Amino acid sequence: MSATTIRDVARYAGVGVGTVSRVLNDSPDVSVTTRSKVLSAIEALDYTPNPIARRLSLGKTLTIAVIAPFFTRPSVVERLRGIEHVIAESEYDLIVFNVETSSRRDAYFHSVLRRERVDGVIIISLLPRDNDVDRLKQAGTSVVFVDVSHPQFSQVIVDDVEGGRQATRHLISLGHRKIGFLSDYEDSSFYFTANRDRFTGYCQELEAANIALRPEFSAHGVHSRSSAYEMAKRLLGVDDRPTAIFATSDTLAIGVLEAAQQVGLDVPKDLSVIGYDDIEIAEYLRLTTIRQSLFESGVEGVKLLLEEMESMPGAPAQILLPTELVRRDTTAPPSARSAPRIFWKSR
Amino acid sequence: MSATTIRDVARYAGVGVGTVSRVLNDSPDVSVTTRSKVLSAIEALDYTPNPIARRLSLGKTLTIAVIAPFFTRPSVVERLRGIEHVIAESEYDLIVFNVETSSRRDAYFHSVLRRERVDGVIIISLLPRDNDVDRLKQAGTSVVFVDVSHPQFSQVIVDDVEGGRQATRHLISLGHRKIGFLSDYEDSSFYFTANRDRFTGYCQELEAANIALRPEFSAHGVHSRSSAYEMAKRLLGVDDRPTAIFATSDTLAIGVLEAAQQVGLDVPKDLSVIGYDDIEIAEYLRLTTIRQSLFESGVEGVKLLLEEMESMPGAPAQILLPTELVRRDTTAPPSARSAPRIFWKSR
DNA sequence: CTGTTAGCGCATTCAC
DNA sequence: GTGAATGCGCTAACAG
Q: Where are the domains of chain A?
A: 6-58, 63-158+294-322, 160-292
Query: Å from A210 (CA) to D16 (C1')?
Result: 84
Phi-psi bin for A277: left (phi > 0), alpha (psi -120 to 50), beta?
left
Query: Å from A323 (CA) to D12 (C1')?
Result: 48
From chain B, pick out residues whose CB is under 8 angstroms from the CB of A84: 70, 96-98
Cβ-proximal residues to A19 (8 Å cutoff; 6+ apart), any chain: A10, A13, A30, A34, A38
pTM confidence score: 0.90
Q: What is the pLDDT of residue A346?
A: 42
Averaged over successive runs of 10 residues, the pLDDT of chain B (347 residues) comes to 85 94 90 94 95 96 95 89 95 94 89 88 90 82 93 94 97 97 73 84 97 94 89 93 96 95 93 96 94 97 95 88 97 72 36
Second-level CATH architecture of A160-292: 3-Layer(aba) Sandwich (3.40)
Nearest-5° angle of CA B57, CA B303, CA A119? 45
C1'-nearest nucleotide to the CA of A18: C3
What whole-number distance in Å separates Cα of residue A148 and Cα of residue A144?
Answer: 9
Give the bases of strand C that a protein CB approaches within 7 Å.
Answer: 1-5, 7-14
Cβ-proximal residues to B232 (8 Å cutoff; 6+ apart), any chain: B180, B182, B219, B245, B255, B256, B258, B259, B260
Of A96, A115, A284, the CB nearest to B96: A96
Count of other CB atoms within 10 angstroms of residue A220: 17
Query: Å from B200 (CA) to D14 (C1')?
Result: 68
On whether the CB atoms of residues A246 and A181 are closer than 8 A, the answer is yes
Query: Å from B24 (CA) to D13 (C1')?
Result: 33
Please report the DSSP string for B102-170 in residue order. Answer: HHHHHHHHHHH-STTT-SEEEEES-PPPHHHHHHHHHSSSEEEEES---TTSEEEEE-HHHHHHHHHHH
Distance from CA of A291 to the nearest CA of B (A): 19
Chain A residues with at least one Cβ partner in B under 8 Å: 1, 3, 48-53, 55-56, 61, 63, 70-71, 77-78, 81, 84-85, 88, 93-98, 104, 111, 114-117, 138, 140, 225, 254, 258, 281, 284
**Each residue's pLDDT tens digit, A251-272:** 999 999 999 999 999 999 999 9
A88–B98 CB contact, under 8 Å:
yes
Cβ-proximal residues to A332 (8 Å cutoff; 6+ apart), any chain: A174, A268, A269, A272
* Domain at A63-158+294-322, CATH from 3.40.50.300, 3.40.50.2300, 3.20.20.140, 1.25.40.10: 3.40.50.2300
Give the chain A residue whose CA is nearest to the CA of B53.
A56
Question: Which of the residues B61, B62, B71 would you substitute to probe the A interface, choosing the one with the greatest number of A C-beta atoms within 10 Å?
Answer: B71
Distance from CA of B317 to the nearest CA of A (A): 22
Of A63, A111, A140, the CB nearest to B1: A140
A3–B116 CB contact, under 8 Å:
yes
Nearest to residue B169, comparing CAs of B205, B217, B213, B212? B205
Q: What is the pLDDT of residue A114?
A: 83
Question: Which of the residues B47, B113, B284, B294 would you substitute to probe the A interface, choosing the one with the greatest number of A C-beta atoms within 10 Å?
Answer: B284
Residue ranges of chain A with per-residue pLDDT less than 70? 1-2, 186-191, 336-347
Domains A63-158+294-322 and A160-292 are alike in CATH topology: yes
Give the chain B residue whose CA is nearest to the CA of A115.
B3
On whether the CB atoms of residues B343 and B172 are closer than 8 A, the answer is no
Of B81, B95, B116, the CB nearest to A94: B95
* Cβ-based contacts with strand D at under 7 Å: A 3, 5-7, 17-18, 21, 24-25, 49-50, 53-54, 56-58; B 14-19, 22, 29-31, 33-35, 56-57, 59
Give the bases of strand D that a protein CB approaches within 7 Å.
Answer: 1-5, 7-14
Chain B residues with at least one Cβ partner in A under 8 Å: 1, 3, 48-53, 55-56, 61, 63, 70-71, 77-78, 80-81, 84-85, 88, 93-98, 104, 111, 114-117, 138, 140, 225, 254, 258, 280-281, 284
**Each residue's pLDDT tens digit, A307-330:** 999 887 779 999 999 999 999 999
Q: Which CATH superfamily is domain A6-58 in?
A: lambda repressor-like DNA-binding domains (1.10.260.40)
A93–B95 CB contact, under 8 Å:
yes
